[in-house]
Structure 1
């Protein structure tokens, strides 16, 4: 990554590698609620930008950057030798306050005097303006006010919200300067050889007078460390003799933790950094689904958050309809003044069935039927959206058709404007019915038909409701096989267009349908084979589009790139349907890719070039960390265990398989129901064997 980012809850900081906010046009800054509260932050020594020595990004909650000085001359005389002063910048975020310590150490053999200056400013730019997506009417910045131990930079928003950045310090500086370009503070230090001195700065966004509490630094950093330790302790512990997998697993677990946010209904994962640190229907739901075997509680916070913002009315500006689950929620000035339709925006066709899938799978994993009972009204409205608004012309398939003038044209997970394309090169016209969405709807209805008879329906005839959903799922399965199968390709179309014509382009979309269990057995085998064919699988993962298709480009966002989360959903289906060889091929490809990225962090996506052509080619603007990419190595665990739940019979089926180079896998603290499953898997000459170390779940282990 050519940037550094740290986050905690709803505040994140994006800087260059030296820790500076030096290029506001590149989006660097301190953000909360989709507004930039810090657009400039630079450190100089005797007026010069220091030399970067090291910039660590292995920990998400704390950043440490080492710098040193250039030669410093005054009136032609050398007064400070190059690389004699070390500057250590350490920063972290806790409870919506950014803490930064700047420590200088003198490595000169004589007593040395120098000045450290910190300059800063706030432009209060809306995220949409920062990213160049939108211009708009905005409020006005106020004159900087000086405080006893800091300064305040204020802004009166056009949305009526008063915003202010407070910059405070622990030690009084030598000089405080205020101008139209912002403010700066200067500290003069005179240090003996080997002596160090540190100064502390605190950056606090204040919204409508609500100032977060600032804690003593030692207390704040310890509380932050403790929260990460608790997260790790509450998650499934996984180790192996494969060092690369261990690193990817640990990195993924840390990255999901940093992306957690709570807007009042419990913690859930936002989509990713730096641009999508907001509630995101599809991304948050899929990440929580990926995390069920690792940290099931995330699903509850995600479900309650999505239920809170479930659509209530028809609003074409926001692509909102009753029962629909949101796509994206923004709280910036442009959203608040209705200049963009994101309060929230509902232009997603898959979030609603994914909401139902996550709820069903969460209940299967946790036995938390109370949550299902609590959310039954939301379930009913979501099903009504699928059957009515999701299928307005009675085609029998859930489809999308944008209404908002500023909405998203393609509303599946491949939401770029050119992603739904025929082999002729012609873009598919809406309404469009995506293959994976039909699988999601089938899976949602099957899960609910299984679970509803066991819950209190508050007046509903649960048995009749269950039977109805099961019948609807079966009918959908029949229609799907008839209309989506492309005999000449031995594969499924990615979609049907407005004329019910197949979008026959070979893509990864049908791989998601494997997860649903909807496909005919022989055709499921054909899908599994195609996913790891040389056209779709290039060695680093399954491509979004096959080589040779008219629209294929390895550099395309959705038409030939590799998305780890896309692979993970295919992987869940491959493993659950018994295609373990293909599943391990995908795991091995993603592990290989992960070996090349900084800190073994799988990014949002990377280009689809073949491994034969060299190492993975990064996608220029990929988010990293990205929630569903971070959770992808965690999905490997479920796939390697070959774990499948038979909820009706309370049986756990295990059919383990390990990737090349891995001979042992240990899984501890995997929560299921009210108990824990712990297992050891080993590679033996005769195949893979497992030992149940502990099973307090109340579930039986099915015989192989």
Structure 2
């Protein structure tokens, strides 16, 4: 992610000492909500957002002027509903009587659908007497841009309109400096006894043993009167849409390990939650709350993680990014012809150019990854019709690699931000302090990152393979470029005394001799020789990198190592997964099974929902992993990590053009003895794969469900 994000989030969340792990998230398309465990929005980092603008910044329920006592709360397994169960504290005397604590059951149940929040407050009187129930909501809408919420200061902003009240609804308005009028409306199914611009007070008479429901809606336009029928109809639509996303692709189940199975389900539903169906196809948004928008790198990596079971994500990502490919040189946007988008935003600050992220291209790796994913998609699906449609974009991306990606003509892809408003580091480790020499000094640009050269190698190889299939006579040139990149990396990045690759080269071609997980991404690309891959793998599996919960981003003992940092010693699940996939590419499966088990151990302590990152402290017996306080949760490439690791540990490789599934020396982590892959579509057929540990080894059995799918097992 972006270094401005990692710096600013701490300031934005300083009011919440528990961090983002205390917030409960819902999302539907470009609308998302984060609130606390009571369901309250309290104006810190939380709120109801649409298109990067906060449409509801305060929404707090009280009973008798006190917050109710929470019994339990959570999000349903399918990520559609949030529910909080609570009970009353002693109610103030009404007519000479007061209700004791614990006689009233309150259920707040909510979901998002069609740019609108739907909420039902159900009140049940379990007491022995009738209750006069004083219920109130405090609310407000500040229309803050998401970057403003995160801590970015603005010299000026637009005009907040006085709220308009109409019996049972309040309409908020704001005219931005971009001259766009933004509105939101909060409506209740019952007219409040007293309604003001920021408070609605109700007085309900609730007989003993009876139930009463209050329906609430908040959306961008004027709300119709909320009621039971609208609640029911829209909740059905929200749930059906989620089920449709969940049913895409193959299924993966652990039939005799309910805990692992729950992790797989949670991860799959998190990817589905973050996936938005755009006109170009499904696109996994990066994460809630800060990155609920299309990111180039994140979308590509998530699609690649899911490619073997759900290729539709890769097609959607490739098609969308092709539609946003740069056509001009623009320093503020960090764009150049052929470059692939890093990020897009829809808020006021982006529209005004106060931040460059309305459509921003400051990622050095995304263009290479775009081509490489296209090659992986072509092999997985055999869908050359889509590749033909994308071919002009792929050729333009290759043109960027030649004409702009290599600024000094040394054959390596490098970066230096084009404007001070952009990102200073433009690989996936994009915080300001993530790239340095072994003594901690920061290098001068342009910087050539290790892993980006691996992506470039993979891109040229993929372009050559696709070109050969399409009859493009330039294919041999692209294959030669891949070979040239491999030779350059092996010659210039390798540190024989360390048995490892340097994290980067500076503007003078000198090595930045820090030891980082970037080398794991190089293994993923298949660039290193087998001997060097073995040495890198061996070192990455030592306690220098292994925390016991996954691999650290930086080797322990390096100058800037800090297990609490964003990129210099923390554990990112997707980073561990990519490194594990790289190790598996060179035949290492037992260690990958071990890493999968460690990541599962971490997930178990995070309620089976892996965060964006967590601290890289060593695993201690009986102690959980330590959370990074402002990590996104859920986050797409964290959720997708388990599926890439499973593909790696099972040794699955799919070539749809040959209707072929190959399985190489499969393994399973300790404690997991069976795994089933169902409805795996390969070419024109569908197959089920059943993996099982027998006599100390893992075997695979298959059953074709339709068409012809060939299974080849090695090892």
Show the counterpart of 1:641. Answer: 650
Which of 233, 237, 245 is 1:231 aligned to?
245
SS of the residue 1:221 aligns to = helix
Is residue 2:25 matched to residue 1:5? Answer: yes
Show the counterpart of 1:459. Answer: none
Distance 1:63 1:75, change over 3 A: closer
Of stretches 635-644 and 382-391 in structure 1, the one that deviates more from structure 2 is: 635-644
Kindly state the Cα deviation for residue 212 of structure 1 after the two structures are TM-superposed.
Answer: 14
Count of residue correspondences: 689
Is residue 2:567 matched to residue 1:555? Answer: no
SS of the residue 1:53 aligns to = strand
Is residue 2:515 matched to residue 1:495? Answer: no
SS of the residue 2:156 aligns to = coil
- Partner deviation per Cα, 1:298-332 (whole Å, 9 max, x = no partner): 11111111111111111111111111111111111
Of stretches 465-474 and 214-223 in structure 1, the one that deviates more from structure 2 is: 214-223
Show the counterpart of 1:658. Answer: 668
Which of 52, 59, 69 is 2:70 aligned to?
52
Does the Cα contact within 8 Å between 1:138 and 1:333 map onto a contact in 2? no
Which of 278, 294, 303 is 2:309 aligned to?
294
Counterparts of 2:286 and 2:225 in 1: how far apart (Å)? 24
- Partner deviation per Cα, 1:56-106 (whole Å, 9 max, x = no partner): 134422100012221133499761211211111010001111101111111
Which of 60, 73, 80 is 1:61 aligned to?
80
SS of the residue 1:537 aligns to = coil
Of stretches 295-304 and 89-98 in structure 1, the one that deviates more from structure 2 is: 295-304
Of stretches 689-698 and 625-634 in structure 1, the one that deviates more from structure 2 is: 689-698
Equivalent residues in 2 for 1:486-635 (5 A)? 486-598=495-607, 600-612=608-620, 614-635=623-644
Does the Cα contact within 8 Å between 2:435 and 2:442 map onto a contact in 1? yes
Kindly state the Cα deviation for residue 695 of structure 1 after the two structures are TM-superposed.
Answer: 6.7
Show the counterpart of 2:421. Answer: 406
Counterparts of 2:145 and 2:599 in 1: how far apart (Å)? 36
Does the Cα contact within 8 Å between 1:528 and 1:582 map onto a contact in 2? no
Does the Cα contact within 8 Å between 2:168 and 2:192 map onto a contact in 1? no
Show the counterpart of 1:103. Answer: 122
- Partner deviation per Cα, 1:90-134 (whole Å, 9 max, x = no partner): 100011111011111112111111121122110000111111024
Does the Cα contact within 8 Å between 1:95 and 1:212 map onto a contact in 2? no
Distance 1:464 1:481, change over 3 A: same
Show the counterpart of 2:318. Answer: 303
Show the counterpart of 1:464. Answer: 473
Is residue 2:697 matched to residue 1:682? Answer: no
Is residue 2:189 matched to residue 1:170? Answer: yes
Structure 2 residues without counterparts, runs of 5 or longer: 1-20
- Partner deviation per Cα, 1:455-489 (whole Å, 9 max, x = no partner): 3xxxxxx4421111111101111111011111011
Does the Cα contact within 8 Å between 1:539 and 1:611 map onto a contact in 2? yes
Which of 677, 689, 692 is 2:702 aligned to?
692
Of stretches 432-441 and 292-301 in structure 1, the one that deviates more from structure 2 is: 292-301
Show the counterpart of 2:680. Answer: 670
SS of the residue 1:14 aligns to = strand
Show the counterpart of 1:257. Answer: 272
Counterparts of 1:669 and 1:283 in 2: how far apart (Å)? 26
Distance 1:648 1:531, change over 3 A: farther
Of stretches 473-482 and 214-223 in structure 1, the one that deviates more from structure 2 is: 214-223
Show the counterpart of 2:57. Answer: 39
Show the counterpart of 1:701. Answer: 711
TM-score by length of 2: 0.93
Show the counterpart of 1:458. Answer: none
Does the Cα contact within 8 Å between 1:412 and 1:434 map onto a contact in 2? yes
Distance 1:697 1:566, change over 3 A: farther
Is residue 2:486 matched to residue 1:477? Answer: yes
Does the Cα contact within 8 Å between 1:65 and 1:89 map onto a contact in 2? yes
Does the Cα contact within 8 Å between 1:71 and 1:78 map onto a contact in 2? no
Counterparts of 1:212 and 1:647 in 2: how far apart (Å)? 52
Kindly state the Cα deviation for residue 411 of structure 1 after the two structures are TM-superposed.
Answer: 0.4
Counterparts of 1:636 and 1:380 in 2: how far apart (Å)? 31
Show the counterpart of 2:13. Answer: none
